[in-house]
Amino acid sequence: EKNSPPQDTCLIFAHRGSKCNRPENTLAAFQEALHVNSDGIELDVHLSKDNQLVVIHDEKVNRTTSGRGRVCDMTLAQLKQLDAGSWFDKAFHKEKIPTLEEVLNLLLKENFAGYLNIEIKTDIINYPGIEKQLFTLMNTQTFPFKVIYSSFNINTLRNLHALGIKDEIAYLAGKTFQRVDLTVVERFITSLHLKKNYVFRHKKLLAPDNKPIRLWGIHSEKDMCLAFQHNISGIFTDFPEKALKIRKNQSN
Ligand code: G3P
Ligand code: MG
């Protein structure tokens, strides 16, 4: 493993890939995250009309592709027609919405040995059967990287647990401050992925059973430094390269 950080280091996850300089959730974004040697990669999955796991953030393709409409109303073949890069920069016009399988293959090809966080986007649409689909795909082989599943939807996490997932299952919270409810954190939840404000406002957070806390929405240098100073296990950032440099400078 190249440059693995020491055990108690705050891990840096490239949020939707290296989102600051590549179109989010594309192979180009993940390739860049690998290139800067990010400890982890975060991505979002939805189900297409023909039940394929596809990597995109929104329920609709409108914001990040050349198309219009909901992911769940389009087949994989239809989704593959779309340009998922030009909205960001014309140079990326060849980027497509990747399937999760394509991302896994990229990580395997590049010998990625860090952390892959698969966020299941069931916050608005339920995608019945998405957990089984994921479980089946992820069980076709063993991976050299560590997998973390997360979702804002606690039922999705319960379903994953019921299927017998052995990897980390993270409780994702804090879209709005009020939605953070640690009372729903059940024993099978291995880690907490919280919005930064939750921890920074409370100054200190007592995580049940000392579960690792990772924070999302950490994009400024100030927040990165705060996270590195608090006892935070990981951050999700659009700027993985910057975060890695800041962490390195702090440890010197
Ligand atoms: O998983 C952390 C973060 O990605 C959650 O928010 O909306 O960027 O998926 P969002
Ligand atoms: Mg996400």
The pLDDT score that the predictor gives to residue 225 is 92
Ligand 1 atom nearest 15 alpha carbon: 4
d(CA 153, CA 130): 12
d(CA 169, CA 166): 8
The pLDDT score that the predictor gives to residue 178 is 43
The pLDDT score that the predictor gives to residue 149 is 98
Please, what is the Cα angle at 189 between 117 and 52, to 5 degrees?
45
The pLDDT score that the predictor gives to residue 229 is 86
Q: What does the buried/exposed string (b/e) look like for 167-193 if buried means 16 or more CB atoms within 10 Å of the residue's CB?
A: ebbbbbbbeeeeebebeebeeebbbbb
Give 252 Cα–ligand 1 centroid separation in angstroms: 31
Give 23 Cα–ligand 2 centroid separation in angstroms: 14
216 lines ligand 1 (CB under 6 A): yes
Q: What is the pLDDT of residues 80-101, one digit of tens each?
A: 999 999 999 999 999 999 999 9
Task: Determine contact, residues 77/42, Cβ cutoff 8 Å.
Answer: no
Return the H-helix or E-strand segment holding 55.
strand 53-55
The pLDDT score that the predictor gives to residue 212 is 87
d(CA 215, CA 200): 10
CATH architecture of the region 11-44+100-251 = Alpha-Beta Barrel (3.20)
Q: What is the pLDDT of residues 26-68, one digit of tens each?
A: 999 999 999 999 999 999 999 999 999 999 999 999 999 999 9
Task: Determine contact, residues 75/48, Cβ cutoff 8 Å.
Answer: yes
The pLDDT score that the predictor gives to residue 25 is 99
Return the H-helix or E-strand segment holding 170.
strand 168-173
Give 85 Cα–ligand 2 centroid separation in angstroms: 18
Nearest Cα residue to atom 4 of ligand 1:
15
172 lines ligand 1 (CB under 6 A): yes
Please, what is the Cα angle at 193 between 200 and 231, to 5 degrees?
50
Q: Which residue has the tokens 């919405």?
A: 97
15 lines ligand 1 (CB under 6 A): yes
Q: What is the pLDDT of residues 2-21, one digit of tens each?
A: 557 777 899 999 999 999 99
Active site residues: 15, 57
**pLDDT average, residue stretch 147-159:** 95
171 lines ligand 1 (CB under 6 A): no
Domain residues of the chain, as ranges? 11-44+100-251
Q: What is the pLDDT of residues 103-124, one digit of tens each?
A: 999 999 999 999 999 999 999 9
**pLDDT average, residue stretch 114-141:** 96
The pLDDT score that the predictor gives to residue 216 is 94
195 lines ligand 1 (CB under 6 A): no
Ligand 1 atom nearest 236 alpha carbon: 2
Give 177 Cα–ligand 1 centroid separation in angstroms: 14
- Give the tokens for residue 225: 């430094």
Positive/negative CA dihedral, 242, 11, 32, 94 = negative
150 lines ligand 1 (CB under 6 A): yes
Q: What is the pLDDT of residues 189-247, one digit of tens each?
A: 999 898 887 666 654 455 556 788 899 999 999 999 989 987 789 999 999 999 999 99
List phi, psi (to 5°) of 7: -45, -50
